[in-house]
């Protein structure tokens, strides 16, 4: 196990965090600019769907392998290399835009390369956080992270639109180069502790594939963690379509227009900001898993009740979606705080990337399932289905001892076997 973070952890951590937050803003602006360019140039839903798919594939297919690499390497160097590689790819595409040589496949390639860099960067950053931040402050830090994500979801699109009015596409891409450079410079002087790996039983260093199998066995051998992983996958199946279906909820069910859609989406983003702020100040219950399950229950109730509203119920829908947005960081932020506090630091890259990969893979599956069901039964049916199943998972998490006691640590296999034989 790694040593506890020092008392002066705030300055180096938030120096790293600020640089990464700026880099994330630059990435969001690039994403908006490229999606708008594809929309304007092609007007093709197939092109936009393909762009979404190529941006998801690296995390789905290579995430667990990237996590093994993160656990074997220097996490600071991995983050710097990922930021630098993404910036270099963006620079090449900006040059193609400036020369007028850009093709659709160039954009696909850049989106895939950026996602590949993110597949290494995200678990490295999350695993570094648990080594730099004391355990009692992890929920607050996660609350700040969730607040940042909510703020970017509100700010990035209008800011991107404003910048595209002032700058050509390559100009917006250049902003990402600046933010990535700031992130690298902010990270250079920061010292990120290395986790202490357990000494191998033989003289040889474990192979890459044995490390990968060890991470998988670690998750499969921890019932509480495995249940949470399955729950996170199911939530992505249910809620990725629910967010995507908001335009249909407004236009078909509530019989309203684009202004009302903006209000609803604005309430969702505002809720995420407020929920992250509350978690950042409060920190949640002493048992972090209770905060996560409370958020899950609240999220399910908010969306389930939204699906029950009549066509005249837009105003209460605004309040319910605001509540759902507040519950999301309570659930997600506390979930990641639990993960960072309980998973062995030397395995966090593998475990975190496995969670991200499997959860990401569920989003397209959810969209495939939602399409025919919504066509048959309507958008409110999906909201009721997603909300009720989510609320049930929240309740079951409170009741299941393996989930309730997750923060006690991973059970030792021999002890678990003895306990089961005595029972």
Going residue by residue through the chain (423 aa), what tens digit of pLDDT does each one get?
455 555 688 899 999 999 999 998 998 888 888 888 887 888 776 787 688 778 888 877 777 778 788 888 888 999 999 999 999 999 999 999 999 999 999 999 998 998 899 888 888 898 888 888 888 888 888 888 888 888 887 787 778 888 888 899 999 999 999 999 999 999 999 998 877 665 555 555 666 677 778 778 888 888 988 898 888 888 888 888 888 788 888 888 999 887 888 788 888 888 998 999 999 899 889 889 999 999 999 999 999 999 999 999 999 999 999 999 999 999 988 988 888 888 888 888 888 888 888 887 887 788 778 888 888 898 899 999 999 999 999 999 899 999 998 888 777 655 444 433 443
The DSSP annotation for 21-64 comes to HHHHHHHHHHHHHHHHHHHHHH--HHHHHHHHHHHHHHHHHHHH
- Of 223, 402, 406, 388, give the one whose Cα is nearest residue 297: 388
- Of 107, 109, 105, 104, give the one whose Cα is nearest residue 173: 107
Q: Which domains does the chain have, with CATH numbers?
A: 10-135+156-187 (1.20.1250.20), 208-408 (1.20.1250.20)
Per the CB < 8 A criterion, the answer to whether 343 and 351 are in contact is yes
Number of other CB atoms surrounding residue 181 within 10 Å: 17
Number of other CB atoms surrounding residue 324 within 10 Å: 29
Per the CB < 8 A criterion, the answer to whether 142 and 334 are in contact is yes
pTM reported for the whole predicted model: 0.76
């Amino acid at each position: 196990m790694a040593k506890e973070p020092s008392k002066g952890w705030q300055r180096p951590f938030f120096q790293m965090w600020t640089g990464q937050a700026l880099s994330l803003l630059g990435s969001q602006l690039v994403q908006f600019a490229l999606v708008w360019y594809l929309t304007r140039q092609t007007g093709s839903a197939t092109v936009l769907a393909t762009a979404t798919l190529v941006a998801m594939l690296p995390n789905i297919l290579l995430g667990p392998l990237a996590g093994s690499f993160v656990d074997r390497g220097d996490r600071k160097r991995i983050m710097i290399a990922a930021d630098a590689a993404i910036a270099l790819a963006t620079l090449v595409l900006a040059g193609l835009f400036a020369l007028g040589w850009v093709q659709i496949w160039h954009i696909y390639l850049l989106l895939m390369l950026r996602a590949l860099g993110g597949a290494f960067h995200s678990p490295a950053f999350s695993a570094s956080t648990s080594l730099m931040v004391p355990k009692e402050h992890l929920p607050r830090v996660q609350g700040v992270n969730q607040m940042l994500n909510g703020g970017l979801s509100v700010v990035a699109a209008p800011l991107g639109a404003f910048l595209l009015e002032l700058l050509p596409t390559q100009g917006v891409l250049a902003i990402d180069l600046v933010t990535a450079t700031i992130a690298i410079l902010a990270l250079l002087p920061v010292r990120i502790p290395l986790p202490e790996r357990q000494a191998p039983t033989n003289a040889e260093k474990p192979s890459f594939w044995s490390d990968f199998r060890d991470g998988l066995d670690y998750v499969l051998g921890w019932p509480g963690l495995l249940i949470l992983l399955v729950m996170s996958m199911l939530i992505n199946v249910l809620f990725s379509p629910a967010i995507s279906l908001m335009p249909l909820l407004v236009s078909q069910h509530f019989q309203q227009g684009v202004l009302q859609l903006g209000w609803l989406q604005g309430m969702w983003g505002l809720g995420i900001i407020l929920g992250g702020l509350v978690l950042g100040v409060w920190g949640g219950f002493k048992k972090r898993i209770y905060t996560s399950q409370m958020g899950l229950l609240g999220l399910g109730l908010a969306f389930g009740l939204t699906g029950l509203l009549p066509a005249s119920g837009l105003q209460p829908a605004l309040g319910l979606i605001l509540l759902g947005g507040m519950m999301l960081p309570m659930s997600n932020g506390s979930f990641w705080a639990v993960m960072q506090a309980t998973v062995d630091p030397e395995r966090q890259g593998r475990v975190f990337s496995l969670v991200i990969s499997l959860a990401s893979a569920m989003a397209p599956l959810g969209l495939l399932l939602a399409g025919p069901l919504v066509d048959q039964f309507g958008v409110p049916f999906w909201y009721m289905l997603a909300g009720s199943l989510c609320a049930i998972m929240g309740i079951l998490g409170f009741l299941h001892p393996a989930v309730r006691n997750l923060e006690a640590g991973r059970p030792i296999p021999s002890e678990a076997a003895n306990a089961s034989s005595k029972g």
